[in-house]
């Protein structure tokens, strides 16, 4: 059964890149998170085990993981990127609370279908999409 480590190793080999302790550690710690992770959180947790990991290596590795499709990078409102596991995770979109920052994931097959129809209508080849609904979550309304 393939897992993220094997896929990442294969990707690196195909690109003539190398499997290193830093890359292994970063992937391990990344997978220990749920949902959307910020660089800052990754850095803090990784440095418990490997205090001298350079921030550039972290960014570079996240870039590689994104390139090989294991991770998706989001750029939400505040300028910071977040990273999300993509392997064996269904596509979904996001509700984002502008008050507390919480994100709720959802999917709606008909919306996806209509998106494709629209692209067809304009002769547009869809590669990916982003749908983000901003508002106030249930908790913040109380």
Partner DNA sequence: TCTATATTGATAACCGTTATCAATTTAAAA
Partner DNA sequence: TTTTAAATTGATAACGGTTATCAATATAGA
| Per-residue interface string for the shown chain with a copy of itself, residues 94-123, x marking contact by CB under 8 A | -x-xx-----x-x-x-xx--xx--xx--xx
Binding partner of residue 100 among Zn ion, DNA, a copy of itself, none, CB cut-off 5 to 8 Å per kind:
Zn ion
140 lines the binding site for Zn ion (CB under 5 A): yes
Contact 29, 42 (CB under 8 A): yes
Q: Which of the listed partners (Zn ion, Mn ion, a copy of itself, none) does 55 bind, with a CB threshold of 5 to 8 Å by partner kind?
A: none
Neighbours of 142 (CB within 10 A): 5
The distance of closest approach from Cβ of residue 56 to DNA in the complex, given in angstroms and rounded to an integer, is 4
Q: Which two tokens stand for residue 134?
A: 């901003």
Contacts (Cβ under 8 Å, ≥6 apart) of 80 = 38, 39, 40
- For residue 26, with 0-12 CB atoms within 10 Å meaning exposed, 13-18 middle and 19 or more buried, which class applies? buried
Among 100, 116, 118, 133, binds Zn ion (CB under 5 A): 100
20 contributes a contact to a copy of itself by CB under 8 A:
no
The CB density around residue 33, as the number of other CB atoms within 10 Å, is 15
What does 33 bind: DNA, a copy of itself, Zn ion, none (CB cut-off 5 to 8 Å by kind)? none
């Amino acid at each position: 059964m393939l897992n993220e480590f094997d896929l990442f190793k294969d990707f690196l080999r195909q690109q003539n890149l190398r499997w290193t302790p830093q890359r292994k550690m970063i992937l391990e710690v990344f997978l220990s998170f749920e949902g959307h992770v910020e660089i800052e959180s990754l850095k803090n947790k990784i440095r418990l085990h490997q205090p001298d990991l350079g921030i550039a290596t972290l960014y570079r590795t996240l870039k590689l993981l994104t390139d090989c499709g294991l991770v998706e990078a989001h750029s939400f409102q505040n300028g910071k990127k977040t990273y999300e596991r993509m392997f064996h995770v269904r596509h979904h979109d996001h509700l984002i609370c502008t008050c507390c920052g919480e994100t709720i994931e959802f999917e709606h097959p008909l919306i996806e279908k209509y998106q494709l129809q629209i692209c067809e209508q304009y002769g547009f080849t869809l590669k990916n999409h982003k749908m983000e609904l901003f508002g106030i979550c249930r908790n913040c309304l109380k």
